Amino acid sequence: MTRIERRSPVQFKGRIKKWEVRDNWTVALAYEDEGQGPFLVDLSHITRWDLQDKSLSRFNQPPGKEVPELPGSCRLQDGVLVTRMNRTQAVIWHLLSGAPDLPAESGYTDVSDATICLALFGPNALAVAEKLCALDFLDPGKQVPFLLQGPFSHVPCQLVLMERGRGFDGGLLLTCSRGYAESMVHAILGAGAEFGLKPAGKERFTDWLGTAFPAQDTSSRKGKPA
Q: Which amino acid is at 14?
A: G
Q: Compute the least distance from the CB of residue 204 to other proteins, in Å.
A: 22
Nearer to other proteins, 1 or 215 (CB): 1
**Of the two residues 60 and 109, which places its CB atom closer to other proteins in the complex?**
109
Instruction: Decide whether 150 or 210 has the Cβ nearer to other proteins.
Output: 150
Handedness of CA 143, 145, 146, 150 (dihedral sign): positive
Least Cβ distance, residue 81 to other proteins (angstroms): 18
Please check whether residue 125 is in contact with residue 176, taking contact to mean a CB–CB distance below 8 angstroms. Answer: no
Nearer to other proteins, 44 or 220 (CB): 44
Cβ 108 to other proteins shortest distance, Å: 10
State how beta strands 39-42 and 89-94 pair.
unpaired
Q: Which is nearer to other proteins, 73 or 218 (CB)?
A: 73
- Omega before residue 145 within 30° of 0, cis: yes
- Read off φ and ψ for residue 36, nearest 5 degrees: -100, 10
Min CB(133)–other proteins separation in Å: 6
Contact status, residue 210 vs residue 128, Cβ threshold 8 Å = no
Q: Kindly list the residues in this chain that would bind other proteins in the complex (CB under 8 A).
A: 1-9, 24-25, 44-45, 50, 52-54, 71-72, 85-89, 106-107, 109, 111-115, 130-134, 136, 138-140, 148-151, 153-156, 177-184, 186-187, 190-191, 193-194, 226
User: Closest separation between CB of residue 19 and other proteins, Å?
Assistant: 16
φ/ψ (deg, to 5) at 56:
-70, -20
Looking at residue 10, the DSSP 8-state letter turns out to be -
